[in-house]
Structure 1
Amino acid sequence: MHHPSVLHHGRTGGGIAYNREEFEEICERGLDLSPTKELLIDESLIGWKEYEMEVVRDKNDNCIIVCSIENFDAMGIHTGDSITVAPAQTLTDKEYQIMRNASMAVLREIGVETGGSNVQFSVNPKNGRLIVIEMNPRVSRSSALASKATGFPICLKWQRNWPWVIPLMS
């Protein structure tokens, strides 16, 4: 087992273990508090760089990256508490293209046929390892930032198809 490790089972009893002793302590406490007696153990991404891609796909499988977004704070800071910059400033072209292609593949695999989505990535600054950490098959808080940064009305475009959707931009 590599450390640090992130352990959680829900709202309480989780934590970050930096060594075997902490790992065992957090596991014991978490299992005691878990109604299912289960824990989720994740690799820690603390210190990794975090990026987002705002993607739009239409019914003809045309996909575009509306905007790349970079979280100024490294992983370990809650996304809602992190400063974000659009477009991303420190991505290499190779990293951008990998994230672009992966974002489109994720939408296709999940089955998002039309509309806006947000795909989040983490990159290890030491070795360049890149992983998808989350995908939201809908417009999100980041969509408003992407719309403001680019002028592309992500939310308004899809409101025509779904008039009950409330636009995030005025």
Structure 2
Amino acid sequence: MTAVLLSVHVLAAILAIGPVCVAASMVPAEARRAVADGGEVADAGRLPVLVRICRTYALVGIAVPVFGLATASSMGVLTDPWVLVSIVLTLAAAGLLALRILPQQRALLDTVGTDRARVGELAGRLAGATGMFNLLWATVTVLMIVRPGSSTGV
């Protein structure tokens, strides 16, 4: 059963978190491209698609910590420090996504076509938040592989 839980956990991470990381990283640059030099919208067609990808896969991504907790529990490592740190970092990433990135993406969508300067400002802040989100997930991934203090020697 542990192998099934671990497989679903890893697949969910690849198929759900990966698209969020990539699409969220593309949103700021795409917003800047959508605004022409004169402040008019050049082409905002891809921007709403990227935002929708983030929102949809963020919901699907809930499966990652659910199956991660189930896997850790079945392996008896739920209280290991590397798991606890991973849980805290996952909560931080989820909070950042839900409370900052997704709302800023919505604000950016609403601003494209109205205020070129504001688009640049929002895109800059969003790029920073997205970079932090990606860094948190990269750290969790490394912890899942290295597992400091584990008995496997990896």
What's the TM-score once normalised by structure 2's chain length?
0.23
Q: Report 1 or 2 for greater relative contact order, CA contacts < 8 Å, sequence distance ≥ 6.
A: 2
Structure that is richer in helix per residue: 2
